[in-house]
Each structure stands twice: as structure tokens, then as C-alpha cells.
A = this chain, B = another copy of it.
Amino acid sequence: MAQATERLQRYLEDELGACRTEDVEQRLDELSTLETALEVEQVTTELDVLSSLANETRYTLVRVLVGAQEELCVCELHAVVDVTESGLSHALSQLVDAGLVTGRKDGRWKKYRATNRAITLITVLEGSVSDE
């Protein structure tokens, strides 16, 4: 980190014209404040949500559930993804953990529904990618 700090010092000298050790300290402080603006726990949750969506199988499941606007049975979801039933189960349980879908047992069938979190995220992501 020593070398990196020296570089930051040279950069600040370049930008500000002059730069003392305190200026570097202060800048490091500001940067660290930006980095820790969020609770570690919240960032962890956000990363879980992102990782859960960042996979073709799981993303397809969420897109379909959001599009359906109703709960769908596992056996219906099986028709839209190309994995075994076991793989489908794993995918759905990861999505439940990330708070993107909820599951409900209905007799011998199990039905899943997209959460508001999933609806919001998918909607915004699709919007941000389509109008570029």
C-alpha cells in the first residue's frame, strides 16, 4: 500500500498543485467513507442478490415469474429451463435465499412467485439495458 499511497500523493500534487501528507490522509479518508457508506451486511445481501441473478438458468426463472405475474408450479418452470429437476430445485432454493422468489406448498405441488424485489430489479435492469 506504501507504493500506492505515494502514487496517490503524486496524483494529488498534480491535481491540486501542492500536496502535503495531510492532504493524502484526508483523501484516503474520503475514499474510505465512500467505501463504507453501507453496512457490510447490506453489501453482502446485495452481492447475494446479484450473484443469484447472474446465471442464465436462475435469471430465466425470475424473468418468467415476473412476466407471469402469478405463481407458477415447479413443473411449469421446468418447461422453460434446460436443467434436471434437481438442478431446478437448487436454482429455486438459491433464489428463495436471495429473497427473489417465495415458495408455497399446495398439496403435492409447489408453487413459486416473484417477490417485489425481483419485480423491481428486473424491471429496472431491462429498462436500463433496452434504452442504451
A interface list, Cβ under 8 A from B: 4-5, 7-8, 11, 14, 27-28, 31-32, 34-35, 37-38, 42-43, 45-47, 49-51, 53-56, 59-60, 63-64, 67-68, 72-73, 75-76, 78-80, 85, 99, 107, 109, 116-117, 120-121, 124-126, 128-130, 132
Q: In the bound complex, do residue B38 and residue A76 qualify as a contact, i.e. CB atoms below 8 Å apart?
A: no
A selection of 29 A-B contacts at a CB cut-off of 8 Å is: A4-B75, A4-B78, A8-B76, A8-B78, A8-B79, A11-B76, A14-B107, A27-B76, A28-B79, A31-B80, A32-B79, A32-B80, A34-B80, A35-B80, A37-B63, A38-B126, A42-B130, A43-B59, A43-B63, A46-B59, A46-B125, A46-B126, A46-B129, A50-B50, A53-B54, A99-B132, A117-B128, A117-B129, A121-B124
Q: Could you say which residues of chain B place their CB within 8 Å of the CB of A76?
A: 8, 11, 27, 31
Report the bound CA distance from A15 to B73 in whole Å.
Answer: 11
CB nearest neighbor in B for A50:
B54
- The A interface is mostly helix, strand or loop, or mixed, namely helix
Q: Could you say which residues of chain B place their CB within 8 Å of the CB of A78?
A: 4, 7-8
